[in-house]
Structure 1
Amino acid sequence: MLKLMIAEDELSFRQGIIQMIDWSFYGIEIVGDAMDGREAIALMREKKPDILLTDIRMPYLNGLELIQTAQDEGLSFFSIILTGYSDFNYARDAVRYGASEYLLKPCLPEDILQAILTVKEKIDKDHRNGSSLEQLNQNWNKNIPLLKNQILNEWLSSPPLPLEDRGQVLDEVGISLTTSRIHIGLLRIDSLDRRKDSKLYKRDMALIRYAAINILTETLLPLFHGLIEPIRYGEEILWLANIPENETDASLKDKMEELQRNMETFLKISISISLSSVKPSLDEVHTAYLEAVEAMAGRFYQGKGGVFLFSEYDQRNLNHVSILENEELHQLEKEIRLHLENQLYEEALDDMDQWLNYIRNTSQYEKAEVNLRATIFILELQKFSQERIPTAFEWKDNLINWVEQVPSIETLEELATIMQKIIQNIVEIDSQQKPLHRTVQAALDWIIMNYNTSISLESVAKETYVSNTYLSSLFKQELGINFLDYLHQYRVEKAKELLKQNYKIFAVAKLVGYQEERHFRTTFKKWTGLTPTQYQKK
């Protein structure tokens, strides 16, 4: 309710104003009445009314002096003047002191009410305008992060327009950057224990990105002395920052590794990070972004969880021969097919390793190029399997599934796992009618009995009375897989059984022979394409 105060030296007139009108009905509360100017100013200091209804002629302070004194003391109110004098000078002075209304005595209660309601409408309007302005300010402040993100996204995607002053924009929007020594960091989340097509995945990723940006900011703020702006760019998290003059690549890497540890500690996620070179001007952030993306390509060859600096990046020779025309890879693929045809499985596996190592060591092809070459080779192996093993319909379906998986792989290691599994399955199907070599069978029996202990190629070779090299060769020839990969696959199959029974993941790791849960999680994901958590929730 609005607060009304009355200053009037005539008691009967003052009481009539108070008693003859139902002020509460109009949303008005009378907070006090005074019989002279001195009492009125004291009451105003205490009650701070919204409206003052005052007579001009009063003892000690007249109405105009009362208004002036209250205004000088910083009180904010609307005033209505009552007077028995119709002199223009009084009216003029009343207006000069900010009086909203001017009433001549004698006046009726309705006249007083109408004057006060007119002032009340002005106050309500001011409040509405003030609220609107406050709301605008709140909306502006709330949308500042979104505006920053939009502006920085535009800068990442294109060079500046003619006459564009990005330095001025920094000041206007409050972006915490200067215009020189700019670099960009790109953060990529390596994995999350959810299926990508699920609602939970989308919800969790939104929450994790939000938390990751907070951890990123807290970790890197001291490094850049507060001159950093983390943003979302599509599905990516990145930051723009001003690099201090004395910062080295080594110290940058150390800080990035600290960021990785913090993400692991607080969010239980692995991240890969790439950094652009330092650009002299804010106008070059689009180039810096492309460098960060190019540096992140090192993740395909070196694996997830790394820190990749553009300054250390071995830039690809843009004139290299297309991977589809690479004769060395073509020759290795021919040899793999020939060895499979002649049942020389150890040689086929060795050639597959050479095929993968050739790509790994050259590191000059884009991920999409490598995936395309791998897809073509898988289709050739599919054709080979159809011609050689026409009844293996289940296997042909697996081949198709692997072709579908290739575009989504993120590292060469993931591709290597797929290619190794393909060779292994061709060998398994091709060897179904043949008995296993007795040494291999003995080794498999030993694994079945002791898979949950710390067994190794050396210990099993000792138990089967052969050399490590010979046992390794036999595994490749008979099973199409090396010893250690077979052991991991067997343990993973046993782990699946325990996960179906809702065992805790750390317990499953111990029960199938892994001392470290982290190693178990990595191995399980490698051979199943799912994390233990994902598998358990299927």
Structure 2
Amino acid sequence: MRKYKLLIVDDEIEVRKGIINKVNWEKLGFEIVAEGENGQEALELFEKTLPDVVLTDIKMPFMDGLELSRRIKEKYPTTKIIVMTGFDEFEYAHKAIKLNVSEYLLRPISSEEITNILLKVKGQIDKEIAEKENVEALKEHYKKSIPVLREKFLISLITSGLDRKEIEQNSNNYDINLNGNEFMVSVISIDKKKKESNESGSDNEVLLREKGLLKFAVLNTTQEIVDKYNLGTVFLKDENIIILTVHGDKENEVIADKTFSAIEELKQVLEKFLKVTVTVGVGNVVKDVVLLRNSYENAVAALDYRIFMGKNKIIWIEDIEPVSVNKIVFDETKERTLTSGIKVGTKEEITSTIDKLFEDIIDSKASFKDYQIYIMEMLTTILKAARDSSVDIDEIFGVDHNLFVELYSLSGIEEAKGWFKDISVRIMNFIVKDRQDTYQHLVKKAKDYIKESYGNSDININEVCNYLHLSTTYFSFIFKKETKTTFVNYLTQVRMDAAKELLRTTNLKAFEIAEKVGYSEPNYFSYSFKKKFGVSPSEFRNSSK
């Protein structure tokens, strides 16, 4: 039987314990993952545990249950929320209904009442998951929604140089809306599942994987999210799912922000209902439909960075390579493999790639002229990879060093192979060092900004990312990598350190200090301070004298 995670929120510990003792949670199929004593704390616990159900009181300090419900539903719309209250007033019930709260309970609550409510909510979740896992329905949906000819056209649209007239004709024939002034391609790759020893998965989940239908389940879910956000078109290419975002004149939202919001929700839904994670490469924004090939190639290039950034990420090419360029035609697969090895690979991977490229020369028994063209294209690809990553070739090899001249001076294939390995590894090492320096510089700018602005109660991660011109996903990755902590934890630490200094060196009252360090609510400042240091602000001040 599935077990669903549940978070209990009430400001009275006796009430929480009373509810816990009233119900046989394991028998009902629930596991209590956390308890919160106010809405603010519950929101932090929710982010850590990602429960399926939240059982919350309404009247609580710092943040009430209705505001907590609103924030959870805004970011995690599939979460079920049960609201408890002793207020038998229409106003509360009306607000709860507007927030799409699953159930509304009046105190005192009996064991039978809460059991019935939990069974009802569990049934709703079971039904939602069953719909996602319906293998036969997924197969039928795929057959009806994406005819072969339509899919063939869409693949050609992002991989071949179709002319405008052909694009217009086929989009009309297959009822595909390509009317817009901005376009973007995203490539979704399903991460390989790591088998946990204590997690066998549902029968349908196993069947989806064994029958090779998992990508159709992901495709179906992606289509639902794309339709919800009115993004554009979804289709399959090989083992990946493609999102083609079309931004119209009447839209006010920025195309990238709209696409990222949809993909973030998609990742949450897939992980919750299908128990899978995905990595998404997002291409650059193009202004003309005939340039979609460029956006697609950059989305595929962004996916290569999962080797470095890890899976279960959204990777935007404009974060990694601010200036995207078109790739030359040099056996696209070989070019991408070599480029990926230099940008995000290891010394062993680069050595293996070059060995394979030279094996192909020997196996094909190419003429000397063909051999020259082949290695020229290899060198050009390497230098393009260096340029994309802002590598200063003169700094590595010297101002007067000409790699093309040196290439023609090589005496044979073995010498050439060793030479290519050497320059590739040297460029790769430069990129690794430069990337690390860039990370440190960005994190330093973020820290400086926080130290200057922590007194502003409205400061958040989006404000810092706008200042640095980075997406929140990329910033969170590099900030945690460099500082070993999250943005929120770092901001809290800066504020708490500042508060301690003010308590030691000034006679300001606690509410004045709270305002100076960025807390609009003095009570929550005192609560956070005591939670952090184990003493209240006044006790800390007295002990410092």
Task: Give TM-score, length-normalised by structure 1.
Answer: 0.31
Structure whose CA Rg is larger:
1
Task: Give TM-score, length-normalised by structure 2.
Answer: 0.30
